[in-house]
Structures are given as C-alpha cells and as structure tokens.
Structure 1
C-alpha cells in the first residue's frame, strides 16, 4: 500500500509518500481499497498544526474515502467482500491506497455514483445535513445567506438550502466562485464589500439564516443583517480569524447564534453519523443532492493540493486518486 505521511506539523510540502505492506483487518474490520479520498481546507489546517485537533505524530491526513472492500476481518460477513462503500474516518488516515475501517462505519455506495464525487461530498454535505436536521432547520421560502459560497462547504450549503426551498444569497470572494454558487442554486451572488447593506438589499431587508464557515471580518456584518428571530450558524473559520460577535446584536431582534460541529457529533454518535452518511449517498444517487464533480489529482500531489487550500485558491472540491 501507499500512504501520505505527516511527520511534523508545518508546511504541506513536507508530506511524504511512503510504501508499506498492505494492512490486515482485525476482528470487526474491513480493508477498503481506496478509489478516491476527499481533500479539504481542514486537512490543510491540520497538517499545518492550525486546527483544534492535533493528531499524534506521525499520521496520515484525510477523513473521507470511497472504494471497494478488499478484505474482511473475523466476524464480518464474507459477502461484503468486493462491495462498494464510502466512509468517514474520524481518526484520519484517508490519504492512502488502502485503509482499515470498522465494518459498522462504512456506508453502501451505488455503482452509479462516482467515487471521487462521493468522497469529496462526505465531509461538506454531512456537515450541512447535520446542520439542517439538528441545528438550524430551514423552511421553504426563508432567506438564507451563505458566506464562503464558492468553497466545498459553501457550495454544499447552497445546494442543500436551495433543495429545501430557501431563497439563497451566496457571498464569495471572486466572480468564478460566485458563478459556481449560482450554478449550485443561489438566487443571487455578491462579494464582501458593503456586506451588511448588500445582504439587506438582496433579502428584502434581512436574512432569516446566515451560514458562516468563514468567520473573520465578515461575521459581524452578516450578523447585523439578520432580521428579527434570525439564526446565525457558525460552521468554521476559514478566514483564519475567530470573530468576537457583539452580544447586544444577538439580543436585539431576538437573534440566535448556533454552533454546528459535525465532527464532534460524529465522534460521539458514530452510528447516527454513519446513518446520516448512508442517507447522503442515497439522496445523491437519487439526484436529490448535487455535489459538484471534483478536480482529480494523484496521491503524490497531496502537499501541493493542500497548499492551494491553505491559500484559499480552490473553487469547489478536489479528490486524491491513489
């Protein structure tokens, strides 16, 4: 097998591609021959040591894979061998040609769903399905603003909110990203200049919901653009700065700020998380969700791919192909 190894936190160009014996599954485990692994901005943060989770070194980055079961361990039905599956690996390790996963953590993947599309959809769409089913339900007709709408999480938010009948305003930093957001279902797309007034102008006076994976300077402006009883969903801080939201602006208008931490929920509720992933893949197969087709890069380019994420130079998603 081949896998990417991070020996120390720092620049992504220090990642190594190593060869090792193929893994052997233990009791209750399966080995997945990886057809595609999802790469993300969070992976870049983790490798650079800038994320709240710091895995024990050395480690292999990545949390999302799609592929085919190559071997099964004791206690696992032998008929699973050869089945197509996808899985989230909350302990990392996805940037590899073969991974070992508990059998209960894999979700069935239709032969009709592209492996790269499935792997890159897992993290972003799982986050949004968790958000809209557990944290910030969206009602048809509501005005939903998505910050960072050209990235993986943002495009998933646009797609999911649009599918629920919301009227979506996308906010993104470039015309290419705004175009991608409109193609995903956004009614309008704007930049960050004059954000508060821009949101109010495109939402008939104020948003019902703001979905924010960005943080930074945009956060307070977006909060101020919420209408009474509006909800502000905090998904992350890709801008690199954690905002200090003014509590008086939450009080005024009975607004609500809601944290959305899919990863923590998935680690503490693995069975529920796997069920959500299964639902995501089934809905994708039925055409109810529309993840964008990702760019594809070989596994040996993992460092360069993560450098692009760190520079916020990626529109959409990227899959690593072992």
Structure 2
C-alpha cells in the first residue's frame, strides 16, 4: 500500500510502498478515505512534537475510512462500517490498523471529508471550552488564531455555548470568515492592539490560544479577574513564560491542555465530547470549513499551507472514494 512517511526529521515526506497492516487484538483495519491535517503533523516531521515516532513513520493524526477487518476481541463495530478516529499517526496511507476503542461511528449524513476534518478541530475546542474552562453563557471568550483549523471551531463552539466571542486573526478576509462563523467582535492582529480592544469590550473571561508569544501576553493583560487562559499550541514559535505574580493579582487560572493526551488517560472525555459534537452536526449547528483538499502524493504541499499559516479552517488529504 502507499504511505506518506517521515524518513528523516526535518525533510519532506516520502511516498513509499509499505506492507499493508494486519489488525492485532483490539484493533480494526480501516481503508482510509481521507485524512485531516493538523499543525501537530508539521511538528512531528520536525521532531518537536510531544510524541516522537520511530522512523520511518506514517504521519496523519485524524482519519475517516471504512472498516475492512476486525482484530480478535473487537465488539460493537462491523466490517463495512464508516468510522472516524484520532489515531495520532498513520492517517496518510491507504490503510491503517488502529485501536477499536478510539473509533467513532460516522453518521450517514456526514461525508468523509467532513469527518476527517471534524474530530481534532471540534474535539479540541469543545473539550477545552466545556470540560476544561467550563465556559458559561454570557461570558466573553477571546479566540486567538481564530481563522485557523482549531480557532474557527472555537468561535463556533463558543457561540453555541452562549458566549460573547471576540475573534482575533490576520487580515480582512480571515476576519470575515470568523464573522461568518458567529464572532461578535473582530480584531486584526496585524493592525490593532489586542489588549486595548479587548479591554474596551469589557475584558476577557476565557482566552483560547493556539498562537502563544506576544498575543498570549497581550491577552493575559486584557483578562478580567478570575479569567481562565487555555494555551493549547504555539504556532508563533514562541512559548510564553508566564509571570506568576500577574496570575496572583487577578486570580487568573492558566489551564494546560493537550487534547490528544486524553486518548490514553481518560478516553471517555473524548467519546462523550464526540457524541455531543456529532449531535450538533446532525442538527446542522456545525459544519467543518474545509479550505483545501489534496491528493495523497501532494501531502507536502498541503502541509505547507499549515506551516505558512495560509490555510483557513481545515486542510484535508483525500486518499480514496468513500
């Protein structure tokens, strides 16, 4: 089968012919229809992600496909069933053998491109805002990087949860996308002072930050007393150092959040979240914004859209029909 693999850290992926996997006990073999790309994939390729695979390694954190075979002991799933999964690795290939417990049945009304763009982005935002930050109706939510893959879903999820949403992004076109997703207020990070604008709107109660760097520092200074800050990525390349005395003065809470970690330590958090999100999708409340679709052999070009921050919403690699 075909697989796009990291052979050497820091180098482009290579399209290689590898052996088709056989599902072990507790696993299913999935024929992959589509793989959603994430900024974390670019970090895996660089060797700077939290989890480092043994090389050569097939990347691709989330996928949608059809089950072709069941490993021993698998119950509740069947051959021919369409599923989505946050696999961590292995999505950029014709087939993937993945644990059955992380598979989420995909409803008939959800196509494979949507399903492959769904789990990480919406799952990250929903667990962050609901389970971790406990965002309440009427609170003011500041979303940094609001036009990106996870940022745009945070705008949508925040609105569904009843928050007043401030979206911060670069340029008029990206801000229009945020407005269409339901943002109440818009901030251009290129031309406006985040702290001044947020404070003029009444301050932030929750900050959702996949960017880091100076934007995090500005957002922290615009927080209301007892605000919660969620650093969940550092797309700027700058991991901010947080002065504890600033937290003390306003009783701020900084909540560390790594969505993928729940796969191992508390998977029910993710499966409960997915059930809610799929209900929202079926009810027409949310729909992934897929801005680019590439073929498997063009995965490097697709990843470049994330590295250069040219993508809005999600970038998906289509691997087979389904």
TM-score normalised by length of structure 1: 0.93
Once the two structures are TM-superposed, the CA of residue 283 in structure 1 deviates from its matched residue by 2.6
Question: Which shifted more, 266-275 or 125-134?
Answer: 266-275
Name the counterpart of 1:239. Answer: 236
RMSD over aligned Cα atoms: 1.7
1:140 paired with 2:137, answer: yes
Shift of 1:169: 0.6
* Distance across 2 between alignment mates of 1:213 and 1:272: 21
Report the counterpart of residue 292 of structure 1 in structure 2: 289
For structure 1, which runs of at least 5 residues remain unmatched after alignment?
A: none
Seen in structure 2, the aligned counterparts of structure 1 residues 209 and 77 have a Cα distance that, compared at 3 Å, is closer
Deviation at 1:34, TM superposition (A): 1.0
> How far apart are residue 20 of structure 1 and its match?
3.0
Cα distance 1:308–1:293, how it changes in 2: closer, same or farther (>3 A)? closer
| Stretch moving more, 283-292 or 99-108 | 283-292
Tell me the equivalent position of 2:245: 248
The answer for the alignment partner of 2:124 in structure 1 is 127
Output the CA distance in 2 between the equivalents of 1:272 and 1:152. 21
Q: How far apart are residue 78 of structure 1 and its match?
A: 9.4
Deviation at 1:299, TM superposition (A): 0.7
1:211-222 maps to which residues of 2 (within 5 A)?
Answer: 211-222=208-219
Partner deviation per Cα, 1:188-209 (whole Å, 9 max, x = no partner)? 11112311101112x2x31111
Structure 2 contact 32–64 (Cα < 8 Å) conserved = yes
Closer, same or farther in 2 for the Cα pair 1:38/1:191, shift >3 Å?
Answer: same
* Structure 1 residue matching 2:167: 3-state secondary structure: strand
Residue 7 of structure 2 corresponds to which residue in structure 1? Answer: 7
Q: State the shift of 1:273 in Å.
A: 2.6
Partner of 1:170: 167
Q: Distance in 2 between matches of 1:108 and 1:278?
A: 10
Give the aligned partner of residue 42 of structure 1: 40
- 1:70 and 2:59 are equivalent in the alignment: no
Select between 130-139 and 60-69 the one with higher mean Cα deviation.
130-139
Deviations 1:20-67 (A, max 9, x none): 343222222211111110111111121122323222211011110111
Q: Which moved more, 1:240-249 or 1:22-31?
A: 22-31
Counterpart-to-counterpart distance in 1, 2:236 and 2:198 = 19
Q: Secondary structure at the match of 1:219?
A: helix
- Deviation of 1:19 after TM superposition, in Å, equals 2.2
Distance in 2 of aligned mates of 1:64 and 1:316: 15
Choose 125-134 or 77-86, whichever is displaced more. 77-86
- 1:29 pairs, out of 22, 27, 30, with 27
Shift of 1:271: 4.3
Q: Which moved more, 1:306-315 or 1:70-79?
A: 70-79
1:267 to 255, 264, 282: 264
Instruction: Please give the per-residue CA displacement for 1:235-266, whole angstroms capped at 9, x wherever unaligned.
Output: 11111000112222211222221111111222
1:172-251 map, 5 Å: 172-192=169-189, 193-201=192-200, 203=201, 205-251=202-248
CA distance in 2, matches of 1:278, 1:25: 25
Distance 1:73 1:255 in 2: 47
Counting matched residue pairs gives: 317
Bigger shift: residues 166-175 or 243-252: 243-252
Query: Which ranges of structure 2 fall in alignment gaps of 5 or more residues?
Result: none
Cα deviation 1:168-223 (Å, max 9, x = unaligned): 0100012221111111110111112311101112x2x3111111111011111110
| Partner residue, 2:111 | 114
Q: Is the 8 A contact 2:127 2:269 kept in 1?
A: no
* Aligned mate of 2:78, from 70, 77, 80: 80
SS in 2 for 1:296: strand
